[in-house]
Structure 1
Amino acid sequence: MTFNGKPIKTFIKKNAPAFALRWLKELGVYKAFTPPVGQVKFGDFNRTTPFSTQFGYDRGGPVDRYYIENFLQQKAGCIQGRVLEIGDNEYTLRFGGKQVTKSDVLHIHSNNPVATIVGDLSDAPHIPDNSFDCIVLTQTLHLIYNAKDALKTCERILKPGGVLLLTSPGISQIASDEWQSTWFWSFTATSMRRMMGEVFSEQSVEIEQHGNVFVATSFLYGVGVSELTKEQLAAKDPNYPVIITVKAIKSHIS
């Protein structure tokens, strides 16, 4: 559509005042509006403290879990046989179900009542080689200082053809609970791809990143996932990764 020989959007942007462009954006007519310098309306985000320091658990659930659980749902067929999960086996049971023949839980502390294996994933010689068909490693790698060694352990203890399903935070607040003192890393798809490629074969690794500037901002403020739309959550911008997801398969060749 044109006006006076020019694309209508170009004409609107050049001639309409900022308040009119903002109004058109709110109506969904002109979505490309960017407020001029000094005319940004920060609204509820105009504060230096978050709405929630609990990742949004107290506001309908964390935004990052939306991506994590969608990823596990998509890869549910891989969660089968003997499965190892970290901390508890909630995702193993939810997404693996009857496909799981044995569920193990690794925890670094012996006081975890559901742990079947106690130890540090980055240094676990007591876990035998080729033991698991699948490892569910969600939101854990960033808490391990020797992250690459933890991946080496995963590769070693997976059976040939076994699958590692991993998620890790990108842009995120830092936990204020017991894990605050060991929150060492935030990853990007680039750093994860390089590290994974040094442990697993590059051809066997699938990496995706999820999020955009609005989702990342909302997550940092502690906005709950129920407060965002599916359209907002679905938009991907590689410059604003909230969650990194990885599927890696151990080679059949030793």
Structure 2
Amino acid sequence: MAKQYVSTAYLQQHDSKLYAIFAWSQRQAEIIPAKSWLTVMEIFVHEHFLEQAYQIFQEIKLAPTVNQVIDEINKYADLLSNAIVFVADKQITIYGKGFRSFIEKDMQFELGSLSRETYQVLPQLFAHLQLEDDLEKIQNIKDFCRLVEKLENLGLLSPATGSLDWGDLKKTVPICQAFGLTRGTPVDRYYLRKFIDDIHPQVVGNILEVGGTPKDKDFYQMNPGSSYRILNLESGPGVDIVGDVHDVSIIEPNSLDSVIIFNVLEHCYAPWIAIENIHTWLKEGGKCFAMVPNAIRVHATPVDYWRPLPDAFAWMFRNFSQQKLYVYGNPITVIASYHGIAVEELTPEELDAFHPDYPVATCIVAEK
């Protein structure tokens, strides 16, 4: 089936520039630099097939603006400094009070019908911003497809409703039940490795690993420091201290230079207490190196309580004098992590792309 597209964007002008903003998102806005972007987005509001969209583009790209469009758009000129323009399937809607209009269902002005007749609404709405007039630069369907691909990669075009190809992902059981281990390396391990590579030189002195095993120590390949001890709830080979990280009395205060706690805090019934205890155990200037998964299946070992998001994780370490967050993930790796798709099945670009709204793993270096 031929690929189909639909526009999906919130547009807002600011300081004589036009931006695509991302609703309720931490992602930075994208500048809309050229008229071609608006024209192509408007076409895909109504026409979803690529070849037909290109034919429309050819027909309208040099056409003069219809007087009806100019007259209608002039009615909203005073609103645009505070408005958001919503672009979606068969819709171009001015929210006169920004997102408040969306929530309150007030001061909404629909221009979809006029757009369907002319394909000139978006360029005319923002004609005063003097965007680059690059329509003539798109001379063939290859040029058109390159722009479509760019807009899709930015999230301004999406697969049209009903055309999404789920492929192997449309199933109600995961591709791998064991985090991806049956296929290769789990995605969260990839991000943990990146974090370890960054912090490796900082882990020094009297080191405590919470919840670890000798096998983990080998995977981390940490400098053993002056001493390297492992704290665990259960006794076993290589476990130096048997105890609960919630119990502050098991470690002497101000005695540690480094604490490592990876993939443990989500299993703590009160991770904020565990972190307070680590703060107590560290010397002044000592550091805690922590990692929690954000997007991973439930794994009760022995119980699984939390998925702290980056803001929550930073709050838990608020009593430390300094902290640096490391957040990893994007929509592809969120899906991969939940489905158990392995690192080896993704490209480095797919793994390393970052989207702040889709964390897979959050790590922190916090200094007492």
Shorter-normalised TM-score: what interval?
0.7 to 0.9
User: What amino acid sits opposite 1:206 in the alignment?
Assistant: K
User: What amino acid sits opposite 1:196 in the alignment?
Assistant: F
Identity between Structure 1 and Structure 2 (%): 28
> 4+ runs of 1 displaced by more than 2 Å?
8-13, 15-21, 24-29, 89-97
**Which of 14, 18, 23 pairs up with 2:49?**
18
d(CA) in 1 for partners of 2:275 and 2:225?
22
Tell me if structure 2 keeps the 8 A contact 1:129–1:156: yes
User: What amino acid sits opposite 1:212 in the alignment?
Assistant: N
Displacement after TM superposition at 1:95 (Å)? 3.7
d(CA) in 2 for partners of 1:126 and 1:12?
61
Asked if residue 102 in structure 1 is aligned to residue 227 in structure 2, the reply is yes
**Which of 321, 324, 327 pairs up with 1:209?**
327
User: What amino acid sits opposite 1:183 in the alignment?
Assistant: D
**Which of 156, 172, 187 pairs up with 2:308?**
187
CA gap of 1:231–1:208, structure 2 versus 1, over 3 A, is same
d(CA) in 2 for partners of 1:28 and 1:73?
37
Deviations 1:119-151 (A, max 9, x none): 000114021112221111101001000111100
Tell me if structure 1 keeps the 8 A contact 2:48–2:160: no
Tell me if structure 2 keeps the 8 A contact 1:122–1:149: yes
User: What amino acid sits opposite 1:242 in the alignment?
Assistant: V
CA gap of 1:27–1:218, structure 2 versus 1, over 3 A, is farther
Tell me if structure 2 keeps the 8 A contact 1:73–1:95: no
Displacement after TM superposition at 1:10 (Å)? 3.7
Asked if residue 88 in structure 1 is aligned to residue 213 in structure 2, the reply is yes
| Structure 2 counterparts to residues 153-168 of structure 1, below 5 A | 153-168=277-292
Tell me if structure 2 keeps the 8 A contact 1:52–1:222: yes
d(CA) in 1 for partners of 2:230 and 2:272?
20
Displacement after TM superposition at 1:90 (Å)? 4.8
**SS of the residue 1:185 aligns to:** coil
- Computing the radius of gyration from Cα coordinates, the structure with the larger value is 2
| Structure 2 counterparts to residues 1-254 of structure 1, below 5 A | 6-7=35-36, 10-11=39-40, 14=43, 17-18=48-49, 30-31=149-150, 32=152, 33-85=157-209, 86-90=211-215, 92=217, 94-97=220-223, 100-110=225-235, 112-175=236-299, 179=301, 181-197=302-318, 199-201=319-321, 204-250=322-368
d(CA) in 2 for partners of 1:195 and 1:139?
15
Displacement after TM superposition at 1:6 (Å)? 4.4
d(CA) in 2 for partners of 1:27 and 1:228?
23
Tell me if structure 2 keeps the 8 A contact 1:84–1:105: yes
d(CA) in 1 for partners of 2:146 and 2:298?
36
Alignment match, 2:95: none
The CA RMSD over aligned residues, in Å, is: 2.5
**SS of the residue 1:245 aligns to:** strand
CA gap of 1:43–1:156, structure 2 versus 1, over 3 A, is same
User: What amino acid sits opposite 1:217 in the alignment?
Assistant: I
**SS of the residue 1:182 aligns to:** coil
Highest relative contact order (Cα 8 Å, sep 6+), 1 or 2?
1
Tell me if structure 2 keeps the 8 A contact 1:88–1:105: yes
User: What amino acid sits opposite 1:182 in the alignment?
Assistant: V
d(CA) in 1 for partners of 2:348 and 2:38?
27
d(CA) in 2 for partners of 1:63 and 1:10?
39
User: What amino acid sits opposite 1:7 in the alignment?
Assistant: S
Q: Which moved more, 1:137-146 or 1:120-129?
A: 120-129
TM-score, length of structure 2 as denominator length: 0.59
- Segments of structure 2 that go 5 or more residues without pairing to the other structure are 1-33, 54-141
User: What amino acid sits opposite 1:116 in the alignment?
Assistant: D
**SS of the residue 1:167 aligns to:** strand
User: What amino acid sits opposite 1:102 in the alignment?
Assistant: S
